Amino acid sequence: MKTIRKQKIDTLFVLMIFCVFAISMLMVLMLGASIYKNMTEISRDGYDERTTLSYFWTKIKNGDEDGLVYLGDFQGLPALCLAEVYGDTRYLTMIYRYGDKVYELFTEEGVQLDPEDGTPVIGAEDLAIEDLGGGLIRVTVGGKSVLLYPRGGLHQQGSGAAAAVQEGGSAG
C-alpha cells in the first residue's frame, strides 16, 4: 500500500514539475512576442523619422546651388523650395507637409496648384521646417531634427522665386 501511495506522490510530483515547466515556457514565449512587437513598432516609427530627415538632406544636397534653396510658403503651408533652370524656364520643387504626409511638387514657376496636386513621399504627422538664420535650416520630425546648411546659401524669402510661392504669382 505504501508503494502505491509513493508511486502516486511521485507521479503527482512529476506532473507538477511538468506543469510548472510548461507554464514557465509559455510565459517566456508570451514575453518574447511582446518584446518583439514593441521593438518592431519602435523601429517602424524611427524609420519614418530617419527616412524623412534623410530625404530632406538629400534633396538639399542635390539641389544646392547659389540662391536656389529657400524656405517659402505654398498655399499657406511652409515649404522647402528648390529652384532649377532648364533652358530659359525656371522650375520649382516644393517639399511640404499636407495632412499627415510629406509631399513633393515639381512645377514650372508661377503655375497655380493646390497642395493635393503634389506626390506623397512619406508619412509624417509632425514636421517643422525652420530658418535659423545665417543660411541654416532645421528640419524636425517626431522630435528628431537635423540641421542643414546649403553650400550655396539660403535664398531670402522676400525676393525672387520665394515671393512667387508666397503670393501665388510669378517672380520676375
CB hemisphere CA count around 151 (13 angstroms) = 6
Q: Is residue 29 part of a domain?
A: no
Give 146: exposed, middle or buried? Use CB within 10 Å, 0-12, 13-18, 19+.
middle
Q: Is residue 172 part of a domain?
A: no
Q: Is residue 67 part of a domain?
A: yes
Q: Is residue 155 part of a domain?
A: yes
Q: Is residue 15 part of a domain?
A: no
Residue 84 has pLDDT above 70, yes or no: yes
Q: Is residue 84 part of a domain?
A: yes
Q: Is residue 38 part of a domain?
A: no
Residue position matching grid coordinates 516644393: 94
Residue 135 has pLDDT above 90, yes or no: no
Distance (Å, whole) CA 36 – CA 133: 43
Query: Residue 67: which pLDDT band, with cuts at 50, 70 and 90?
Result: low
CB of 83 closer than 8 Å to CB of 89: no
Sign of the CA dihedral with 153 first, then 172, 91, and 81 last: positive
Query: Residue 153: which pLDDT band, with cuts at 50, 70 and 90?
Result: low
Percent of the chain with pLDDT over 70: 83
pLDDT of 20? 94
pTM of the full structure: 0.64
pLDDT of 71? 85
CB of 122 closer than 8 Å to CB of 55: yes
Q: What is the DSSP letter of 80?
A: E
Distance (Å, whole) CA 2 – CA 80: 87
Residue position matching grid coordinates 524656364: 89
pLDDT of 55? 86
Residue 91 has pLDDT above 60, yes or no: yes
Give 152: exposed, middle or buried? Use CB within 10 Å, 0-12, 13-18, 19+.
middle
Query: Residue 140: which pLDDT band, with cuts at 50, 70 and 90?
Result: confident
Q: Is residue 33 part of a domain?
A: no
Residue 156 has pLDDT above 90, yes or no: no
Residue 168 has pLDDT above 50, yes or no: no
Distance (Å, whole) CA 82 – CA 160: 12
Give the pLDDT confidence of 6-43 residue by residue, as tens digits: 778 888 889 999 999 999 999 999 999 999 998 888 77
Residue 120 has pLDDT above 70, yes or no: yes
Domains held by the chain: number: 1
Q: What is the DSSP letter of 154?
A: P
Percent of the chain with pLDDT over 90: 22
Quote the domain boundaries for residue 84.
53-167
